[in-house]
Amino acid sequence: MTSPIVTLATCADYPTLDDDDRGLPDALRERGIEPRVAVWNDSSINWDDAGVVVLRSVRDYAKKRNYANFLSWSRSVPRLANHPDVVQWNADKHYLSRLAEFGVPMIPTTWLEPSAGYSKHQVHTRFPAHGDFVVKPAVSSGGRGTGRYTATDARSRADAINDTVHHLGRGRSVMVQRYLEEVDRRGELSLVYFNGVLSHAVEKAPMLHPSFRSADEVHEEIVTAREPSEQEWLWGERVRKAIHGLIKERSGRDIQLLFDRVDVVADGKGGFYLMEVSLIDAGLYLGSTPDALDNFADAIAQRVFW
């Protein structure tokens, strides 16, 4: 009897997957599945014969030269997880505004659109007058292009203006958010779900230090596994409910997510802000807890043998 195939989609920078996913092929073999690893934009791959295709280290999808091709490719794959409808909206962080309309608090954000044709002075006037703030492109992967700046430091503010103008000039929408001191004190919390069930959670140390100035590098994450509190668990469920509301609005039906990473940060008032929902190239911290890798392999197997 032929084993079912699962193809783990990656990018040319990680042709054998990233370190965190490296054990996944063996875990799938243990479950009677033939694993394959393929670069998403490799023209020699026949995706019709790829079985269930699981998005993993597709970290280059957000690059300008790849973005439209990646979205088109996602539509062409017969059995993609997560679903192409989900990929389409999760690739652009404007989805955060819609989730806010579904009742999920997010950090107050100023959106700068390339079509507005902002001058440097106009960009300057849209930054906070005091404190630290963050500039990030609405389409990015792994924190590329994200920087932390100080409003009252002339050089830092000039760097923020130049970086923002750079993004806008390349056709990228830009988000401007006040930097939360809670991130320095407590970091971020990532809740990881497989097939709608919470698998594990990790606390992430702050990545944007005051001296940090963004280029287009990937930011290194330092994570520590921990059990979420009841309040954090309930918050995750609130976010997931909003996500499925958005999915139903966009697709006209509910779509089960194979994997779902929800990043939140304390708001300093007893609640949380949603930072990001990662449904495309999410780092899932499979090495962070003993069960995480097996949980993901089991979730994939459920999809294959449904």
Query: Which DSSP category does 258 fall into?
Result: S
- Round the average pLDDT of the chain to a whole number and report it: 92
pTM above 0.85, yes or no: yes
Could you tell me whether strands 188-194 and 197-204 are parallel, antiparallel, or unpaired per DSSP bridges?
antiparallel
What pLDDT was estimated at residue 215? 44
Query: What does the alpha-carbon distance between residue 261 and residue 234 come to, in Å, rounded to a whole number?
Result: 15
- Listed by start position, the domains of the chain span 5-86, 91-106+181-285, 109-178
The residues facing 53 across adjacent strands are 7, 80
Residue 77 exposure: Cα atoms within 13 Å on the Cβ side: 30
The residues facing 204 across adjacent strands are 188, 223
Amino acid at site 50: A
Query: What does the alpha-carbon distance between residue 16 and residue 35 come to, in Å, rounded to a whole number?
Result: 12
CA dihedral 72, 77, 80, 82 (to 10 degrees): 0
Determine whether domain 5-86 maps to CATH 3.30.70: no
SS3 for 74? helix
Q: What is the mean pLDDT of residues 108-137?
A: 96
pLDDT of residue 80 exceeding 50, the answer is: yes
Amino acid at site 15: P
> How many C-beta atoms surround the C-beta of residue 174 within 10 A?
24
What pLDDT was estimated at residue 206? 74
pLDDT tens digits, 232-265: 999 999 999 999 999 999 999 999 999 999 999 9
The candidate with the shortest Cα–Cα distance to 219, out of 143, 277, 282, 141, is: 143
Query: What does the alpha-carbon distance between residue 300 and residue 24 come to, in Å, rounded to a whole number?
Result: 10
Sheet with 197-204, edge to edge strand ranges: 223-225, 197-204, 188-194, 259-266, 272-278
Q: Which superfamily does CATH assign the domain made up of 109-178 to?
A: ATP-grasp fold, A domain (3.30.1490.20)
pLDDT tens digits, 205-240: 776 555 444 444 455 678 899 999 999 999 999 999
Which of 6-15, 70-79, 173-182 is least confident? 173-182
pLDDT tens digits, 13-53: 999 999 999 999 999 999 999 999 999 999 999 999 999 99
What pLDDT was estimated at residue 207? 62
Q: Do domains 5-86 and 109-178 have the same CATH topology?
A: no
SS3 for 272? strand
What is the third-level CATH fold of 91-106+181-285? D-amino Acid Aminotransferase; Chain A, domain 1 (3.30.470)
Query: What does the alpha-carbon distance between residue 36 and residue 62 come to, in Å, rounded to a whole number?
Result: 23
CA dihedral 83, 88, 92, 96 (to 10 degrees): -60
State percent of the chain over pLDDT 70: 95
